[in-house]
Amino acid sequence: MTVGGTPGFRTIVIDVDSTLCGIEGIDWLAARRGKTIAEQVVEQTERAMRGDLPLERVYAERLAAVRPSVADVEELSRAYLDSVAPGARSTISRWREEGVRVVLVSGGIRNAILPLAAHLGVDKSDVNAVEVVHDASGAYADFDRASPLSVATGKRDTVAALNLERPILAVGDGSTDLVMREVVDCFVAFTGFATRQAVVNQADYVAASFVELSDIVSRFAVNS
């Protein structure tokens, strides 16, 4: 907590999949398509998160394999709500009460993340993710191919373009999160759901829970 002071960070940027929530959204959808597709998509996701494979090489391919309908996206939104990291909601609420802007930056499906953001009290305008497009029948049609968040460096570029108030803290678990370190003041590797050693090795701090993350933020409180 920031008792006796004000938050040292003015903006906190949080990844969603395997950070704010305990699932990887596209992998979760793939599991509904059978073993072959699930294994293929999970492998692609893990390689991209480790930095072994550029995200842009597999993003479209993963969605084409899964082809999430409107109903699928609605189910995913419920899965996100069911898997929120312990303490995340209360921690984010406290940060916002203290005047910290909380921004979600994700390579996941924005349509599914918006209900999660509402649950956490994060403004809709502060949800940065990839829109999925459906046809009139509710079937998958495409995704926003102009979104920078479908490429490996997208989170870095998105955060830079938002002109967020500094100091900025970014939190995430994968290599696509680590690139934000180039444009923020502090990066925390979140290991509550997945540990990727290359990310841990290059992070400024490591947190396995939102309690630990809150403690890290507290260290930067400015005394009144």
pTM of the model: 0.93
From the list 17, 27, 72, 173, the catalytic residue is: 17
CATH code of 203's domain: 3.40.50.1000
Q: Which long-range contacts (CB under 8 A, 24 or more apart) does 32-37 make?
A: 32/72, 33/65, 33/66, 37/65, 37/66
Read off the pLDDT of each residue in 190-215 and give the average, rounded to a whole number. 97
- Residue 157 annotated in active site: no
Q: What is the pLDDT of residues 146-201, one digit of tens each?
A: 999 999 999 999 999 999 999 999 999 999 999 999 999 999 999 999 999 999 99
User: 49 lies in which domain range?
Assistant: 5-223
> Can you give the pLDDT at residue 176?
95
| Catalytic residue from among 15, 27, 72, 173 | 15
Please say whether the beta carbons of 26 and 174 come within 8 A: no
Residue 101 has pLDDT above 50, yes or no: yes
Question: Confidence band (pLDDT; 50, 70, 90) for 55?
Answer: confident
Average pLDDT over residues 43-52: 90
Residue 3 confidence (pLDDT) = 42
* Number of domains within the chain: 1
What's the pLDDT score for residue 54?
83
Q: Is 15 a catalytic residue?
A: yes
